[in-house]
Structure 1
């Protein structure tokens, strides 16, 4: 904090200000300009106004705002610079509002404040900024300004008195400049995905470093081998990481590179290590014969044949067909080939279309083959001959030979039929018969028979049959039939009870039944007895015997119907007896017990 200036001896009232300038000390070396943000000195520390008749004191140091002119804007004279003193008029010198020569400056309020009491003449040097190089510049302008760090604490620690101006607020800090826009790093992993005779397909990966500017797209550039004339092949930036370079000349060798583009500019390029030959990549041909064609393919005469055999290979393989080692008859067989498969088509198959067909696909020096066997079949012909080999009793022996035409497939069996000469109707005797001879039996004596044989293959039975030229007649012969004598089995048996009677108990008035079973041959006679007395035809008892089951029903027995009951079975071979006890109880009368 700057010290107060020392008082100066009084001078004559009418002595001009020039004498005060002569008494001022020599100017000190120019100090470094104080920062603009330095706080102004408080009003109490400003130089006191001289009393009447006294010379103005020379300040030791003026505030930075009062001594150093502002570099930029116009000088703004504060209202306080021209304000009169509180108790008496004051003459504001012209120098108090004069702007600095080097630049505008803002005079602080404290520099032009009038004295608190009494009339005083504010010296021009105290309020006006010094003009550099001006002869009228006072010595105060050359005084060193206090450092900003010395003035700032004073402004913070001391509160300005009433009537004094408040210190200026600090300005907000200036934001840092935006970072410069930079291009991305080079794209990665560039390689050729596919190519053919007129185009090349490339793919790549995006750059590892993209930055804040983002990625706008890619530029694909090419040039022929041996030159450096790079040309972009895409008019607009390519967004995806795949591009097809089209409309190229077959046989050219192209150098290819890719550049990433954003607001920062072009990235370093990524290029293929070797030039690319514009020519379709040769891929070994391969015939992919379907599973059902790996075995013999059988079709009937008249069927439509449509066989598709796929294959692979690049460029498009050359397809050729042969049948049994010879070129195909294009009038009978049509071949249609595409880039991926070949079709063998026959509108209506014939027996002559059977054979081994071979398909060959060739790409440059590479070749692959596959063969399929086509068999066109139909119904077989009848057996070549059928004859009656022998006749005996009720039997006829037949023999025949295989058919001359088997329908282009093996014979699976034969069907034999017979017909009686009287009726002429054919009846099947044997079918699916595999041998070339058979014996027909169970023929009727006195009848005459004819026989015929059909051939059979996987297509079915032959339409025609071969009939025997001769007939087989079953002769009648004298036969004396004597039936065999059989000894009759003796089934006679004495009676035997298989189920015995069981003891029973019943109540007076409630019917009951006794049961048993007996066997014997001849059928035994059944008798029921009560206490060794034959019951006979007593209506109180009902006797039944069916299929060896014997029953005796006692209807509403009384007190005297209890006793021993016996069943006796008797035939010519013996008899058998079985007995049981029957107890007849009195009913319980609850009322009688109470009495």
Structure 2
């Protein structure tokens, strides 16, 4: 018996290494072993347990081999051949187990964290709405987690029920969504749910149900700048005034003229954005204060414009000649009875000689209602008429004065005034004297002075008190009292004192100067 435990021990160590092979051989039904072969290995295992502790090979403690031995007890039964199968494998595995030591077990990786949904989406509110849609907007959840965020589901249900339905077929990626195809006047509860691998987040719901109706925007009339002052048009013009406005939903537009409804002559056409006041042919009766009112629910806004239809004025009511004297006539007139529905800006006054009957304008754009007409011709008789003027122009007709202005002939003795002739004679006097000069041999020079006197004085040029006369070396000119003496290419002996004498029958005057002629210097001196 002592010789049997050793092979059984080796077979037990081998069996765990061959666990998969034994499992593959186990399914055969004929493998049931008799009771006697099973009992022998069981007893052998009991006897072999103390023998395992004896060898000191630096192996692991005895407890793991005891656990390995338990599956070896059933190994002969699983093979179907009984104990001889274990004995045949034991010698083959003995050398391998002796050669290598058992490897330590690796620690198992920690289990992955459980997947969790995100926190509730934030800041859900209605951005805009109209009669058929509602636009909502929200913010990303504060806590997203490791599972990330796949998208959002928008759910709606009618107010008073809990029948929530998804408004979007696919997950919404952005934080804004428009719920379309809604019924006007319906009240809806809206909520948003964030979805990821961990499931659905808690819903973020609007605090109150939303009424599907266009958001009311206060109405506002945008009166154009040119209509903020009085709008003036002529009789017969076409009036077409467009006044824009804003407001949601479409405001109700109404018009009044002087606080009363419009008459049939005035047409109004309104759209969603503006209202048009249209008059095909303007008349003076169309003038007045027009008021436009736009209303949305309980809000309204008003704007007024003043329309003034004008035409040419009538002539002055009366014109008369109040006085005539010398070559003048004084007129006065009164304003016209019809000013053309606007202020009179001036008057035009015309005159006509009774002989010819031709009218001539003497005053236009004249603002006063009295005038004095001058420069009339002696012996003629004149008629006068006056036109009125406003923004449209001059009146078609004029008012003619009943009186006539007759300019009488009056004998006049004309005595021309006596004039005493002034004595303008004057002795010669130099206003500009001669200045000393210096020149170079060969370079012409000129002496200048000016003199006055009446009668015109005679001018004489002298050199060293000797009259120059007609010497061709000198050129003498005297024009308008400016006297000049040109010395052509002076030589060494042309220097000296030059004098100019002016003389007439009232006296004489003399001016003098000194002329110095220098020798040339420099490279050209030898050539000279």
Shorter-normalised TM-score: what interval? 0.7 to 0.9
- The residue that corresponds to 1:575 in the other structure is 508
Q: Please give the secondary structure, in 1, of the residue aligned with 2:372.
A: strand
> Which of the numbers 140, 151, 154 marks the counterpart of 1:219?
154
Equivalent positions of 1:108-257 (< 5 A) are 134-137=38-41, 139-142=43-46, 143-144=48-49, 151=59, 179-196=113-130, 199-211=133-145, 212-225=147-160, 227-240=161-174, 241-244=176-179, 246-248=181-183, 250=185, 252-257=186-191
Paired residues of 1:184 and 1:215 also in contact (CA < 8 A): no
Does residue 348 of structure 1 match 2:284? no
1:573 Cα deviation (Å)? 2.6
Q: For this pair of structures, how many residues does the alignment match?
A: 486
Does residue 358 of structure 1 match 2:291? yes
Which whole-Å deviations, capped at 9, do the CAs of 1:496-549 have from their partners, x for residues lacking one?
A: 112223455678887665443211122223334455455556666654432222
- The residue that corresponds to 2:312 in the other structure is 379
Does residue 299 of structure 1 match 2:207? no
- The residue that corresponds to 2:450 in the other structure is 517
Does residue 479 of structure 1 match 2:383? no
Q: Given the two structures, how large is their TM-score scaled by the length of structure 2?
A: 0.76
1:377 Cα deviation (Å)? 2.3
1:352 Cα deviation (Å)? 1.8
Paired residues of 1:324 and 1:357 also in contact (CA < 8 A): yes
Question: Which 5+ residue runs of structure 1 have no aligned equivalent?
Answer: 1-19, 25-55, 78-97, 105-130, 154-159
- The residue that corresponds to 1:75 in the other structure is 22
1:470 Cα deviation (Å)? 4.0
Which whole-Å deviations, capped at 9, do the CAs of 1:164-202 have from their partners, x for residues lacking one?
A: 755687898776665544333322222233445555443
1:68 Cα deviation (Å)? 5.8
Structure 1 Cα separation of the partners of residues 11 and 349 of structure 2: 141
Which whole-Å deviations, capped at 9, do the CAs of 1:225-245 have from their partners, x for residues lacking one?
A: 1x3333334444444432325
- The residue that corresponds to 1:546 in the other structure is 479
Equivalent positions of 1:351-430 (< 5 A) are 351-421=284-354, 424-430=357-363
Paired residues of 1:258 and 1:269 also in contact (CA < 8 A): yes
Equivalent positions of 1:62-101 (< 5 A) are 62=9, 66=13, 69=16, 72-75=19-22
RMSD over aligned Cα, in angstroms?
Answer: 4.4
Task: Give the direction of change, closer, same or farther, for the CA distance of 1:320–1:574 in structure 2 (3 Å limit).
Answer: same
Structure 1 Cα separation of the partners of residues 106 and 340 of structure 2: 109
User: Which is further off, 379-388 or 504-513?
Assistant: 504-513
Equivalent positions of 1:255-334 (< 5 A) are 255-329=189-263, 331-334=264-267
Paired residues of 1:182 and 1:213 also in contact (CA < 8 A): no
Structure 2 Cα separation of the partners of residues 555 and 366 of structure 1: 105
1:314 Cα deviation (Å)? 4.0
Task: Give the direction of change, closer, same or farther, for the CA distance of 1:209–1:474 in structure 2 (3 Å limit).
Answer: same
Which whole-Å deviations, capped at 9, do the CAs of 1:550-574 have from their partners, x for residues lacking one?
A: 3445667788766554433222332
Q: Please give the secondary structure, in 2, of the residue aligned with 1:247.
A: coil
1:435 Cα deviation (Å)? 0.5
- The residue that corresponds to 1:95 in the other structure is none
Paired residues of 1:296 and 1:374 also in contact (CA < 8 A): yes
Paired residues of 2:327 and 2:374 also in contact (CA < 8 A): yes
Paired residues of 1:200 and 1:246 also in contact (CA < 8 A): no
1:421 Cα deviation (Å)? 4.5
Task: Give the direction of change, closer, same or farther, for the CA distance of 1:174–1:222 in structure 2 (3 Å limit).
Answer: same
Question: Which 5+ residue runs of structure 2 have no aligned equivalent?
Answer: 62-93
Structure 1 Cα separation of the partners of residues 327 and 37 of structure 2: 165
Q: Please give the secondary structure, in 1, of the residue aligned with 2:316.
A: coil
Task: Give the direction of change, closer, same or farther, for the CA distance of 1:453–1:265 in structure 2 (3 Å limit).
Answer: same
Paired residues of 1:223 and 1:231 also in contact (CA < 8 A): no
User: Which is further off, 308-317 or 165-174?
Assistant: 165-174
Structure 2 Cα separation of the partners of residues 339 and 582 of structure 1: 102
Structure 1 Cα separation of the partners of residues 493 and 17 of structure 2: 161
Structure 2 Cα separation of the partners of residues 406 and 425 of structure 1: 28
Paired residues of 2:155 and 2:164 also in contact (CA < 8 A): no
Paired residues of 1:213 and 1:264 also in contact (CA < 8 A): no
Task: Give the direction of change, closer, same or farther, for the CA distance of 1:429–1:72 in structure 2 (3 Å limit).
Answer: farther
Paired residues of 1:336 and 1:344 also in contact (CA < 8 A): yes
Paired residues of 2:150 and 2:171 also in contact (CA < 8 A): no
The structure with more radius of gyration: 1
Structure 1 Cα separation of the partners of residues 27 and 439 of structure 2: 157
1:436 Cα deviation (Å)? 0.7
Which whole-Å deviations, capped at 9, do the CAs of 1:2-54 have from their partners, x for residues lacking one?
A: xxxxxxxxxxxxxxxxxx2xxx4xxxxxxxxxxxxxxxxxxxxxxxxxxxxxx
Does residue 441 of structure 1 match 2:374? yes
Paired residues of 2:135 and 2:178 also in contact (CA < 8 A): yes
Paired residues of 2:153 and 2:166 also in contact (CA < 8 A): no
Structure 2 Cα separation of the partners of residues 508 and 219 of structure 1: 116
